[in-house]
Amino acid sequence: MSSSGNPIRINRFLADCGLGSRRSCEEIIIGGRVTINGDVCISLSTKIKEDDEVIVDGKRLTPHKETINILLYKPPEYICSRNDPENRPTVFELLPKHLKQQRNIHYAGRLDFKSEGLIILTNSGDLSQKLSHPNSKVDKEYLVSLTKPFNMDDKDRLLEGIEIPSGLAKAINVEKVSKRSIAITLNQGLNRQIRHMMTALNYRVSRLVRVRIGGLTDIALEPGSWRFIGRKDLYKIFNQAKD
């Protein structure tokens, strides 16, 4: 239910309990993992009332009261996951114990294992949905270091789009920073998008750093460090207002 006590859609309720974005929560519902007052629920149109008992995978859910939003600098060779079968370090290990133990905190917009830079951790299903939904079109800027000089003739190909395994990948801005490094801005979220795009152009990426999410940057954050973000920071993200 909403803060006013009105019934809310089941996917939003699960998201508010920290189970992920609304879209990922829909998969939980369709998978038959949710019961409401003892009955299995697979209907996405179901609404939750204040006195309903909602259980997922045997655990009763209660919406969290305090919203936690964190900006973290992910170091390279950390994985965006709670658990890793290969026992690689996870981004949640960088948080203090009292935050690490809050299972409803999840990442919104992952970086791959070798990449580094800014990510957001949150227990807000709404924020996670806004950051991950394709319609949000939140810009993300990356500094990309290459093993050979970048040919500016390839800029147009990055802007026009390149077919990669997960679809047509386009940059919305490309700037040359130095002979072997460029700044690329994306508003898509395709898997390993920049690495696949550069491979298609016969470049190899030696370092990839996310430096901006929407209008939010933080040059003071060092690898492995983090800070809470508030309303002003969220405004920068969604209004593309750079520092």
- Active-site residues, by number, are 112
Rounded Cα distance between 6 and 56, Å, is 21
Q: In terms of C-beta density within 10 A (0-12 exposed, 13-18 middle, 19 or more buried), how is residue 96 classed?
A: exposed
Residues 6+ positions from 182 with CB-CB distance below 8 Å:
143, 144, 146, 150, 174, 175, 176
Contact of 176 with 151, CB cutoff 8 Å: no
**For residue 172, which of 212, 216, 141 has the smallest C-alpha distance?**
141
Query: Cα–Cα–Cα angle for 69, 166, 159, nearest 5°?
Result: 85
Please give the Cα distance from 157 to 164 (Å, whole number). Answer: 13
